[in-house]
Structure 1
Amino acid sequence: MVGNPPGTCGSPLVVVPALRDQYGQDWPFPPVEGPDQPGHDTTWLIFIPGAYTPVCMSELEEVGDLARQLTDMDVGLRLIAPDSAQVLRMVTDQLGLEVPFLSDFWPHGAAAKYYGVLDETTGRPKRVSLLVDRAGTVLEAISSTSGARKMDEHLSVLQKKT
């Protein structure tokens, strides 16, 4: 969806991210809760540059364990990638993932751009994880420029906050 919020006449157009999960269901933005997914006080948004790349697949192989630990801590987890919902479904089925994997396919990269993690050169998000509150405000961030993120870093950040 494209349009100006009320009272912003003449401002650049705001693109509202239109996310869909691996089953094709629409998700609200920010994606802290969705179809059959309760909201949490905090949620990790893990941006994945490309679902079927070797580094991303190595990260995704660790996500199942992370998701179980976060559930015990009452913290949400959402994966977000620029791939189509159909590709994300193939990945979740292949890896047996039971977490929402959201497609930021069209408008292309709108969620990544909203959070300032879109690499404009490649059209893909940077390798960044954001801890957000219910309103979608960023509380913490984890990033990597040289390889896979270690999923246990997400737990370390939460332990430091308590």
Structure 2
Amino acid sequence: MTTPALRDQYGQHWPCPPIEGPDEPASDKTWLIFIPGAYTPVCMSELEHVATLADTLADEGVAVRLIAPDSAPVLRMVCDQLSLTVPFLSDFWPHGAVASHYDVLDTTTGRPKRVSLLVDRSGEVLETIESTAGSRNMDDHLSVLHNEK
């Protein structure tokens, strides 16, 4: 299996699982939100709600990481356009290695499924949200977290 090599929207390297990064401390729980394509209409509609979600989750000690198969420069453009400061990680090369690691890569399209994974500090999956049609409701991330307690 290929070792995942992640870069954030600023080109900084991140480990897998992406629980902590260059300027981001580890949290007990982290949502890994897989985005099939940063500049698609459905993904952009989801991304418009991520900043609010991330702020709310931060108050509860839960981190958010976005992961997409796009290159880091493309992710930077999306972040700049939407004023996103959440780490947006490129799973560009080796292509889809993180999505494969978490078994959420759609091998037909070469893109991750529209899935969010709640992971602990070791990267173990605690909860899953998946949308097979249309965008995820970002409030579902809060609901899952509150039902887990």
Same topology, TM > 0.5: yes
Q: Secondary structure at the match of 2:48?
A: helix
Q: Secondary structure at the match of 1:102?
A: strand
Q: Secondary structure at the match of 1:150?
A: coil
Is 1:159 the equivalent of 2:146? yes
Residue 100 of structure 1: aligned partner: 87
User: What's the TM-score, normalizing by structure 2?
Assistant: 0.99
Find the structure with the greater CA-based Rg.
1
Counterpart amino acid of residue 92 in structure 1: C
Match of 2:44 among 47, 53, 57: 57
Distance 1:144 1:75 in 2: 21
User: CA RMSD, aligned part only?
Assistant: 0.4
Q: State the 4+ residue runs in structure 1 displaced beyond 3 angstroms.
A: none
Is 1:34 the equivalent of 2:43? no
Ranges in structure 2 where 5+ consecutive residues have no aligned partner: none
User: Once the two structures are aligned, what percentage of the paired residues are identical?
Assistant: 72
Superposed counterparts of 1:79-94, under 5 Å: 79-94=66-81
* CA shift digits 1:53-90 (9 cap, x unpaired): 00000000000100000100000100000000000000
Q: CA deviation at 1:25?
A: 0.1
Residue 117 of structure 1: aligned partner: 104
Q: Secondary structure at the match of 1:15?
A: coil
Distance 2:110 2:133 in 1: 18
Ranges in structure 1 where 5+ consecutive residues have no aligned partner: 1-13
Residue 64 of structure 2: aligned partner: 77
The higher relative CO (CA closer than 8 Å, separation ≥ 6) is in: 2
Distance 2:18 2:71 in 1: 17
Distance 1:18 1:142 in 2: 24
User: What's the TM-score, normalizing by structure 1?
Assistant: 0.91
* CA shift digits 1:9-54 (9 cap, x unpaired): xxxxx21100000000000110000011010000000000000000
Residue 127 of structure 1: aligned partner: 114
Q: What is the total number of aligned residue pairs between the two structures?
A: 149
